[in-house]
Structure 1
Amino acid sequence: MQRAARRRWQVRSAGAGLAVALVAGVLASPAAAGPAVRPAAVDPCPAPVPVAEVVPGTVGEGLTVVRGTTPQPFAVEVLGVLPDGIGAGKDMIVVEVSDVAGGHVVDQGGGGIWAGMSGSPVYVGGRLLGSVSYGFTSANSPIGGVTPAADMLPLLDLGVRPAARAGAVREDRTVALPSALRRQVSSRAAAAVPRGGLQRLPVPLSLSGLSSDRVARFQAGADAAGLSVLAHAGSGRAAPAAAGPLAVPVPGGNFTGVLSYGDVTAAGTGTTTAVCGDQALAFGHPLAFAGAVSYGASVGSSLAIIRDDAFGAYKLATVGDPVGIVDQDRTSGLRARLGVLPRTVPVTTTIRNSTTGRARTGTTRVAAPDMLPEIAAYAALANFDNVFDEVGDGRASSHWVITGTRAGGKAFTVSRTNQWASRDDISAEPAFDLAYAVDSLVNQDDEAVTITGVTLESNVTSDFRQYRVAKTEVAVGKGAYRAPSSVTVKAGTTLKVRTTLKAFRSSTVRRVVSTVKVPARTQGQSGVLLVAGGQGSSVLGEDEDEGCFLDPSACDDELSESLDGVIAGLRKAPHNNDLAVSLLLGSEDDDDFSTVRETRLPQRYTVTGAGFVGVQVRR
């Protein structure tokens, strides 16, 4: 570290499955086991090349992994420098990459830079120019952008600050090329430069335990949150144990930032740029741009470079042995502290299929606290899909428990039981209800909350049954039941409400009677008598809403309520099998109604639909 410090004073998101037919068509060719020229030994923490010394025509050599774990060389030539091209005070070095004689790196991506190369170190005369981290992701192109070493190495000295919510500040991922440089790049590329500017290379994000449809849904949520990732099916990895082996990253080797382990292992793959003492640098751009973070850090093994004409070529890799913890996620890259394992939060799900008798308990351990709500939902989905083994209609009961600590280290526990029915995807609603609960707890503005554990138990069946509010009748005092659009009553009057519930696809009806007393001192007020089923709408109507769990700033949610208020709200919220009869009253002069009476009547099955009767209280 001391040597690196002395040198630094010089410094001035595509759901791809692995179907046999797809892999056969997209694996890069030729399938080279290694380059003809072995890479020379490099200083793992070299001195940087000052950007002021970088001129067009400067040549160097990069290192990255195509297959397995051994870095392979590729050639780099500087085309120019974009002052402030990455950000204010952060230049971008524009380069052209090519294969060395006998090498097969660039041709694996169809002749262009591919996702997963992010962080690939580039050396000039034994010094570190920077890392290949930007490219034209819309088409294969050998033209790319290098994050200067002069901007990456200061991350080694950055202090650890309180973690920020992922994506709280959006970063522009596209860098426009000046017209003169664009013409130069076009002539060198022997083709028109793709429209748009250089973009930071998306991070190949592998997700284990999920079907292609679930991966695509995760991708939609990541897109809504502004995360630059290419989600695809991947392999699982158990959470590292304290006594387990620790690997040592090497420059040009595979680097994975691990968000979760277990059933749903979520890991972003890139390349290690430098290793300086007990720290490492990677990617050359952010993963989630979340500042001070806590992700797992591991090496990995590359299986192949997958050519995808729709989303661009990307590296398919497995998660290898742990090396430490990613503690900084910044504009210029990731920083890892080596030899330190991340704290993880266990998400344990037990799913039982009442139709088939199958049951399974699964565990996912989440290393990235900011992504706990979203990953908890997908951990539940993974186990639901394993046990229910279909995406379709049905019923489910669920019981979740969330434990954590609040201000002063005081422990708390929140739990809730509910029922569910869906004609579309019965697994999704209990899974995302859990995500909503976790998000509500960690994203309120009142107190800092640390979640220590999440459990979900659910019974699911394909036998769909549900009640629908078919008719609402009201009797005033001792009068007869009628189905009026409105009633006029005296304050203190008792209303009898008879609700007819119709069973799904059945002639069977159920009549439920309840009473509501109009409060005294409400003379002159007006409002509505509302009869509604608890399952009025799904937790998430659109996939894009999942971006709220990955980045709260992506949605206009108001979660500033006190922590006690959030906990009370979660505990007291209506259940999906409730029939709620509510009287809402307010001034005649406005529509600001408030609930003055409410009765909840639990039913055997979930209830949907609603009925309304206007209410006018006499003066």
Structure 2
Amino acid sequence: MQTSFRILVVLASLLLAAPALRAQPFMEPGELRRGMSGFGLTTFQGTEIDTFQVEILGVLKGALGPRMDMILARLSGGPLEHTGLIRGMSGSPVYIDGRLIGAIAYGWYFSKEPIGGITPIGHMLDVATREHPTPSQYGKVLELDEETTRLLGGEGVSTLAPLGMPIAVAGFSPRGRQVLRDALDAPGIQLLDSPTGQGLSDQGFDGELSRTEVSIAPGGPLAVQLIRGDYSAAAIGTLTWVGDGRFVGFGHPMFLLGATNLPATGAYIHQVIPIQTASFKLGTPTNTIGAVHQDRLPAIAGTLGEAPDMMPVRVALRSAAGDNAFRCEVLRHPELSASLVRSVLFNSLETTEKLFGDATLRMRSHIALADGRTVERDQVYSSGIAPLRAVIDAVQPVGVLLNNPFAGLALDSLHFELEIGETLTQARITGLRLSPPDPKVGQRVSLQATLQPYRAEPVTELIELDLPAHLEPGPFVVRVGSGVASTRWEAARQPDAFVPRNAADVLALLERTGAADELVVEVFRAEPGFTVNGRELPGLPPSALAVLGADRSAGHLGPVQGEVVLRRTLTTDYVLSGEQSLDITLRKP
């Protein structure tokens, strides 16, 4: 009864909090003494807030950094004596004499007792008072060296490490979970299968969990939604403090993103699962409560109310087995979104078809921007790892758009259409023949390209070319390759054209991908030239080349290595590889 009374006092003080954070009844580490006792708040099952007992053991000076202490405490009560510290408890507030001292956040692996570290509330509130970022100020995923990773969250037996975050996932296969785990790439995370849709309570199934109302109060479950829909992923922790429209939680970083803007939700805790290494809460995200704006070393922090929208992703897959469609939303972040989309595509292919073995796959990507513009891409793959290559290529423009330096390229939604068959349609270009072999300027010539399909007889493609009458006689090169090879030739010939200078250039380059099933023929003349503001100036006289080559003024001036005087494209039934070329000399008519 005495403990319950203290809980009511603390909650009432939080609800009546003044805007000034420091007016709250907090206690600094310097006021603590060994042997002081208090209680903590967390949720062990459902959405009800439970209590546990806390005994102060000491203060670890500088444990989190210069002038950043950590409080050491022994916990008891509830399931803790059986489970030890629990992943998902991160952020559970602790009170001494009715005053908030901080949040449970750190512990030891294989510990025989529930002894852990408490992040002082002062450090956490410093995160809550930081200014909200604008999208261009979002932090990036921190890449840590091995030693720093070990200190921040490695599973060393003697290392005091963050308790870690359960990532509640649904819809992912075992290999799909590993891809998602690699995409998140943060110390201490643990991907866990989680029930979705309906939650089992004492009264039976209680309806859609996404509509479940949870208490926005210290000790209540706190989740950060990464993916929702047919696929779901959310980081589960605990709320530490709520006041003045703000909240803090976790007591340690999530991904150490710094300034960010992520959807925050409540959570339903289905069960605490006791494990010898690290027990964890099995939870599911519920209704949206606000937005996380800061992800720092002492805590995550944000505001209650409006949450950032998420990016819709649709995947439609067609195969001999039938049609499948998946819909989900992923969070919007320049460093995380592309990786999350990749995990969704990967899992969609694995669960409905396959990732390895003979296959031919066509991927059509429709990327919609917020201003109505679109990026359309169409590519075909055929190999033993065709689905993997398709997934990697499909996500690449998403990363480019999220991290480009130009304004006005905000993503709205993504739509991927995939058609997959279980046979190889590869062919290699093995031969090239020109008739007549010594053509004249303005003459019609026949070109025979020999294709060697996989485990089939050779195929000959016949292409007729009308050589331009205005050409100067001399040496030329006739070359054939796939659309992919043609794009590579062009990048080598005119590298300046593949450097975007504005948002429109970015979109144009993203769509400038030759198809692998196209046979491209080019007649090429190797003469140096320049581009000026995007206009190609090949075949300039030596005096002009010398002037332009010596010009050091700013402007859109770039080199051109030769001129393509003729190009023809033919769509084939194969995914092409290999290249062939002929050196010819055009004669006068």
TM-score (normalizing by structure 2): 0.74
Residues 522-544 of structure 1, C-alpha deviation per residue, up to 9 Å, x if partnerless? 9899xx976544578xxxxxxxx
Determine whether 1:375 maps to 2:328. Answer: no
Aligned length: 512
Rounded to whole Å, the distance in 2 between the matches of 1:495 and 1:96 is 86
Which residues in structure 2 correspond to 1:91-106 (within 5 Å)? 91-93=69-71, 95-100=72-77, 103-106=78-81
Aligned to 2:30, the other structure's residue is in SS state: helix
Deviation at 1:249, TM superposition (A): 1.9
The structure that has the greater radius of gyration is 2
Q: Which amino acid aligns with 2:341?
A: A
Q: How far has the Cα of 1:497 moved from its partner?
A: 5.9
Query: 1:494-533 maps to which residues of 2 (within 5 A)?
Result: 498-511=448-461, 513=463, 531-533=480-482
Is residue 202–residue 228 contact of structure 1 (8 Å, CA) maintained in 2? yes
Q: Of residues 40, 44, 59 in structure 2, which corresponds to 1:66?
A: 44
Distance change (3 Å), C-alpha of 1:207 and 1:535: farther
More strand by share: 2
Q: CA deviation at 1:255?
A: 0.9
**1:478 matches 2:437:** yes
| CA deviation profile, 1:380-439 (whole Å, cap 9, x unmatched) | 34444454478654223232221224xxxx54221122223342363x444433321211
Aligned to 1:349: 315
CA distance in 2, matches of 1:530, 1:232: 53
**Which residue is 2:293 aligned to?**
327
What corresponds to 2:489 in structure 1? Answer: none
Q: What is aligned with 2:99?
A: 127
Q: Secondary structure at the match of 1:213?
A: helix
**Cα distance in structure 1, aligned partners of 2:562 and 2:167:** 47
Q: Which amino acid aligns with 1:459?
A: E
Query: Match for residue 539 of structure 1?
Result: none
Determine which of 511, 516, 520 is the counterpart of 1:576.
516
Tell me which residue corresponds to 2:182: 220
* Structure 1 position 98, deviation (Å): 3.4
Secondary structure of 2:131 counterpart: coil
Q: CA RMSD for the aligned pairs?
A: 4.1
* SS of 1:98 mapped into structure 2: strand
Change (3 A) 1:602 1:229: farther
CA distance in 2, matches of 1:584, 1:289: 53
Match of 2:54 in 1: 76
> For 1:255 and 1:159, how far apart are their aligned partners in 2?
21
User: Of residues 338, 347, 357 in structure 1, which corresponds to 2:304?
Assistant: 338
Partner of 1:34: none
Who is 1:416 aligned against? 377
Amino acid at match of 2:54: V
3-state SS of 1:41 partner: helix
Query: Which whole-Å CA distance do the structure 2 matches of 1:298 and 1:266 have between them?
Result: 12
Q: Which amino acid aligns with 1:167?
A: K
Instruction: Call closer, same or farther: CA 1:222–1:474 in 2, change over 3 Å.
Output: farther
1:256 CA drift (Å): 0.6
CA distance in 1, matches of 2:329, 2:438: 60
Map Cα deviations across residues 477-496 of structure 1 (whole Å, 9 max, x no partner): 6259xxxxxxxxx9999997
The letter of the residue matching 1:283 is F
Q: Could you tell me how far apart the structure 1 residues matched to 2:35 and 2:443 are?
A: 90
Partner amino acid, structure 2, of 1:219: R
Q: TM-score, normalised by structure 1?
A: 0.71
5+ residue gaps, structure 1, are 1-36, 178-192, 481-489, 537-557
Give the 3 Å change call, closer, same or farther, for CA 275–601 of structure 1 in structure 2. Answer: same
1:369 counterpart SS class = coil
Distance change >3 Å, CA 606–CA 292, structure 1 → 2:
farther
Distance 2:161 2:499 in 1: 33
**1:248 counterpart SS class:** coil
Relative to 1, partners in 2 of residues 1:67 and 1:245: Cα closer, same or farther, differing over 3 Å?
Answer: closer
Corresponding position: 1:563 with 2:503: yes
- Secondary structure of the residue aligned to 2:140 is coil
Aligned to 1:260: 227
From the superposition, tell whether residues 254 and 315 of structure 1 become closer, same or farther in structure 2 (CA, over 3 Å): same
- 1:503 and 1:281 map into 2 onto residues whose CA distance is 61
Q: Secondary structure at the match of 2:427?
A: strand
CA, structure 1 residues 277+173, in 2 after alignment: closer, same or farther (shift >3 Å)?
A: farther
Partner of 1:555: none
Are the structure 2 counterparts of residues 508 and 499 from structure 1 closer, same or farther at C-alpha, using a change threshold of 3 Å? Answer: closer
Change in CA separation of 1:496 and 1:346 when aligned onto 2, cut-off 3 Å: same
Alignment-mate amino acid for residue 405 of structure 2: D
Aligned residue in 1 for 2:140: 167
- Judged with a 3 Å threshold, the aligned counterparts in structure 2 of structure 1 residues 606 and 135 are, in CA distance, closer, same or farther, namely farther
User: Which of 7, 27, 30 is equivalent to 1:49?
Assistant: 27
Task: Decide whether the 8 Å contact of 1:173 with 1:199 is kept in 2.
Answer: no
- Which residues of 2 match residues 190-229 of structure 1 at below 5 A? 194-195=156-157, 197-223=159-185, 226=186, 228-229=188-189
